[in-house]
Chain A
Amino acid sequence: AQTVTQSQPEMSVQEAETVTLSCTYDTSESDYYLFWYKQPPSRQMILVIRQEAYKQQNATENRFSVNFQKAAKSFSLKISDSQLGDAAMYFCAFAHGGSQGNLIFGKGTKLSVKP
């Protein structure tokens, strides 16, 4: 069974600085997708970034980028130029590439941004 592990329950970053959130996963599949979701205090889950396992290039969305290390089964999220609005819970998630792959979430990392 696939598992997703986020080893950092809480992280803190100074405004305008860079922070990296860690995520590791375990799977025997070769076709899969990885995600980072953000859950701000409003509770609504928002997709931040998605990475296809077959792509070697790391995904980037504005200030958000990932470091995808397939062999190490590691998928970290880097937030550059942190802003107060980035304060939220961040969840790493995994989905099998097949048509019936479930979305499996890690326990989350709570990110605080200090002004």
Chain B
Amino acid sequence: DSGVTQTPKHLITATGQRVTLRCSPRSGDLSVYWYQQSLDQGLQFLIQYYNGEERAKGNILERFSAQQFPDLHSELNLSSLELGDSALYFCASSVGLRMSTDTQYFGPGTRLTVL
């Protein structure tokens, strides 16, 4: 158990809908990262927040947005969902803000299925 929690574990929804994925980082970690893992694209970095502020952006679509709240939990919002958004979404956390030197601890992921 990494100490990172993600809810829900599974989510099934329809095209055009909007969903919110939630992540609680390990106690003491200030950075939260979001990743998407799909068969087509592999594992891709989406976005990083550090202590409430956006820190780095990867291949995140404009239909997707995220935020980190004062209690450091984070939410990833996915809107106007398409079939291709079906994937496993991971959250990870680390103490610091550097992806190179700070070990990231991954959550168990949220499996999103868009029908």
A57-B47 Cα distance, complex, nearest whole Å = 32
Interface bin, chain B: 20 to 34
A88-B14 Cα distance, complex, nearest whole Å = 31
> Is the beta-carbon distance between B100 and A95 smaller than 8 angstroms?
yes
A interface: dominant SS: loop
A45-87 CB mask vs B (1 if < 8 Å, else 0) is 1110010000000000000000000000000000000000000
A32-B88 Cα distance, complex, nearest whole Å = 27
Interface bin, chain A: 20 to 34
A43-B88 Cα distance, complex, nearest whole Å = 9
A37-B23 Cα distance, complex, nearest whole Å = 20
> Is the beta-carbon distance between B90 and A45 smaller than 8 angstroms?
yes
> Is the beta-carbon distance between B109 and A44 smaller than 8 angstroms?
yes
Within 78-115 of B, Cβ neighbours of A (below 8 Å) are at 88, 90, 92, 97-101, 103-104, 106-109
Please name all residues of chain A whose beta carbon is closer than 8 Å to the beta carbon of B103 when the two chains form the complex. 47, 50
Say whether, besides A33-B100, A101-B98, A101-B99, A42 and B43 are in contact (CB < 8 Å). no
Decide yes or no whether A28 CB sits under 8 A from chain B.
Answer: no
> Is the beta-carbon distance between B45 and A108 smaller than 8 angstroms?
no
> Is the beta-carbon distance between B108 and A42 smaller than 8 angstroms?
yes
- Interface Cβ pair total, 8 Å cutoff: 50
A105-B38 Cα distance, complex, nearest whole Å = 12
Say whether, besides A43-B108, A100-B55, A108 and B42 are in contact (CB < 8 Å). yes
A110-B98 Cα distance, complex, nearest whole Å = 28
Please name all residues of chain A whose beta carbon is closer than 8 Å to the beta carbon of B33 when the two chains form the complex. 103
Decide yes or no whether B58 CB sits under 8 A from chain A.
Answer: yes
Please name all residues of chain B whose beta carbon is closer than 8 Å to the beta carbon of A98 when the two chains form the complex. 100
30 pairs, A vs B, C-beta closer than 8 Å: A33-B100, A33-B101, A42-B108, A43-B109, A44-B2, A44-B106, A44-B108, A44-B109, A47-B103, A47-B104, A91-B43, A95-B99, A95-B100, A96-B100, A97-B100, A98-B100, A99-B97, A100-B56, A101-B99, A101-B100, A102-B45, A102-B56, A103-B33, A103-B45, A103-B104, A105-B42, A105-B43, A105-B44, A106-B42, A107-B42
